[in-house]
Amino acid sequence: MAGPSAHDEEFTGYVNTRSAWLRQVAFLLCGDWHGADELLQVAVTRLYLNWSRVRAVENPDGYARTVLVNAYLAERRSSWVRRVIPLGGQEERPAAGGDLDGVLDLRRALASLPPRQRAVLVLRYYCDLSVEETAVTLRCSQGNVKSQSARGIDRLRRLLQPSAEEVTS
Amino acid sequence: MTLDADGLAAGLRELARSPAPPMRLDVPAVRAAGRRRRRAVRVAGGVLACGVLFGGVAVVNGGDDVTVAVASLSQGRDPLLAHAAFGWLPDSVIGVSHTVGAHGDQVMARAGGEWGMRLWLRMYEADDDPPLEDGRTALPAPPVNGRRAYWITEDPRDPLNGGDAFLRWRVPDGRWAELHGYYMEEADQGAVLLRVAADVTIGTRPVPLPLRIEGLPAGLDVTEVHFWRPGFTDDETWELAMFYAGPDGASVTIQVSPLTMPGGRCRAAAGLTVCVDAKGVDPDGLLRRITLLGADERRWTTEVVIE
């Protein structure tokens, strides 16, 4: 039997080095690690199918992130997934040493956001993408990214700090 | 947790570091599944090619797609022009938004609620075949008003693309229109999208707006209009924002809504509030030239800017 092709070796090498990061992004999108692993499997399969294209792009991480986010949005649009896969998932504890209650609250609040808003916030504030980069990733206008960001943050503020007086801008 | 941008970024970083179970990603299984999918796509491609022989047309892959404006700005009496408009829409739709500016142009109908249906209308340049992005397939759909139509999908086995459905159809002048729908609860999404598409009208028309401005300061050009229906706050109200720029850095933003808005110079009348933010222009003088036409859209006008 022939050994793995250079194509497969490259792909495997990339996934081995970047899967932990992609999994974290998937976790922030899904809200639970089991869902994140399912999403990662879908996204990495798509990367494999398009590996020749991934090799050709200047920013393979950006490509992989786009594939992951699109896979997440496509799944969340499916009524089947909305029925079968819980949005919140199990309550894993956040890392010790931080604001445990605050992080759990943030996780619950994020789970209540519509998928596009959640994706915009993850891309803007976790992946540190610009408005323009986020718009390209989501194939929408920059205005749409701005409005989704504003709505998402506003919703999180209301969920996390119901008293308007406590909100900081 | 303090939720400004930095606070949110810090919270997300901390959340991403949550203790996790062992990763279940199986790379050899991914490669095997990928190879099976490749074979399946080849088979599907063969089936589609056969479809051509029986009168259907399946366009597989194409070049870069080019969108043409579905709405645009005008320096005339109505600053907001639509080049395509919805007709029939499902009862769940509560408003149609128009936004135009440097970031692009959008016409979107939506149902209520965060998960309410979204229907986006777009236009593409005239061509023999529909625009098609890499990795997508055009599957023949029932004709729209007697003209060719296609479902655009990432999965040739699923015309509605997992609920993220794209319908592209040719319009009389040879251009292509697109209806993009998602969050749809309708039992037959395809039938709903086809009915909406059949009632879309193509052609330029001014969008009625809820104000009149008598004598806009000279030299100001409209640069963006955002008319969100519904707005960002709830499903009942709406928000209009018009952005103007002029010589020597002059700028004006005019916002109108049934809501009370923070900041700027504001005035309330006819159940609406108008606020003006201005640089290089007297905001109070401009406010006095604005007439609000009320919340009843039958009284809105396309004669917005009067000399």
| Co-location of A7 and A78 in the same domain | yes
Residue B263: pLDDT band (50, 70, 90) is low
A169 touches chain B (CB under 8 A): yes
Question: B187-212 burial by CB neighbour count: b if 16+ within 10 A, else e?
Answer: eebbebbbebbbebeeeeebbbbbbb
Task: Name the percent of chain A lying above pLDDT 70.
Answer: 77
| Lowest-pLDDT range of A64-78, B109-123, B239-253 | A64-78
Task: Name the percent of chain B lying above pLDDT 90.
Answer: 49
Which of residues B27 and B42 earns the better pLDDT score?
A: B27
For an interface test with B, give the residue of A22, A24, A77 to mutate (most B CBs within 10 A): A77
Q: Which of residues 118-137 of A touch B (CB under 8 A)?
A: 121-122, 125-126, 128, 135
| Lowest-pLDDT range of A69-83, A85-99, B3-17, B138-152 | A85-99
A88 touches chain B (CB under 8 A): no
* First-to-last C-alpha distance (Å) of chain B: 52
B147 touches chain A (CB under 8 A): no
Tell me the pLDDT tens digit for each residue of A37-92. Answer: 888 988 898 888 888 888 888 888 999 999 999 888 876 764 333 333 333 334 44
Residue B81: pLDDT band (50, 70, 90) is very high
Distance of residue A67 Cα from the nearest chain B Cα, in angstroms? 12
Q: Is the dihedral of CA A135, A139, A141, A147 positive or negative?
A: negative
Residue B199's pLDDT is 97
- Joined together, the tokens standing for residue B125 give 């340049």
Which of residues A87 and B270 earns the better pLDDT score?
A: B270
How distant, in Å, are the alpha carbons of B92, B101, B170, B193, B197 from that of B143? Answer: 25, 33, 9, 12, 10
How many domains is chain A partitioned into structurally? 2
- Joined together, the tokens standing for residue B101 give 């500016």
Tell me the residue type at B179: L
B12 touches chain A (CB under 8 A): yes
| Co-location of A110 and A46 in the same domain | no
Residue B205's pLDDT is 93
Residue B234's pLDDT is 81
A162 touches chain B (CB under 8 A): no
Q: Which of residues 18-47 of B touch A (CB under 8 A)?
A: 18-21, 23-27, 29-31, 33-34, 37-38
Q: Does residue B178 have a pLDDT over 80?
A: yes
Which residues are bridge partners to B118 per DSSP? B110, B182
Domain, as residue range, for A62: 1-92
Residue B33's pLDDT is 65
Q: Is-contact B225 B208, C-beta < 8 A?
A: no
Residue B77's pLDDT is 93
| Co-location of A14 and A42 in the same domain | yes
| Lowest-pLDDT range of A152-166, B122-136, B153-167 | A152-166
- The arithmetic mean of pLDDT across residues B188-205, rounded, is 95
Domain coordinates of chain B in residue numbers? 60-206, 211-306
| Co-location of A13 and A84 in the same domain | yes
| Lowest-pLDDT range of B48-52, B137-141, B260-264 | B48-52
Average pLDDT, rounded, for chain A: 78
Per-position DSSP letters for B24-87, written without gaps between them: ---HHHHHHHHHHHHHHHHHHHHHHHHHHHTT---EE--S---EE-SEEE-SSS-SEEEEEE--
CA B1 – CA B23 distance, rounded (Å): 29
B164 touches chain A (CB under 8 A): yes
Q: Does residue B191 have a pLDDT over 80?
A: yes
For an interface test with A, give the residue of B13, B17, B18 to mutate (most A CBs within 10 A): B18
Q: Is-contact B130 B168, C-beta < 8 A?
A: yes
For residue A84, give every residue at least 6 positions away whose Cβ sits within 8 Å of its Cβ, in sequence order, or none.
none
Residue B271's pLDDT is 94
CA angle A36, A38, A40 (to 5 degrees): 65
Residue A83's pLDDT is 31
CA B104 – CA B118 distance, rounded (Å): 18
- The arithmetic mean of pLDDT across residues B257-282, rounded, is 86
Which CATH number do you get for residue A146? Answer: 1.10.10.10
Residue B277: pLDDT band (50, 70, 90) is confident
CA A65 – CA A70 distance, rounded (Å): 9
B260 touches chain A (CB under 8 A): no
Q: Is A113 in Cβ contact with B26 (below 8 Å)?
A: no
Residue A72's pLDDT is 87
Residue A142's pLDDT is 84
CA A91 – CA A81 distance, rounded (Å): 20
| Co-location of A83 and A140 in the same domain | no
A154 touches chain B (CB under 8 A): yes
Taking CB atoms and an 8 Å cutoff, what residues of chain B touch A75? 162
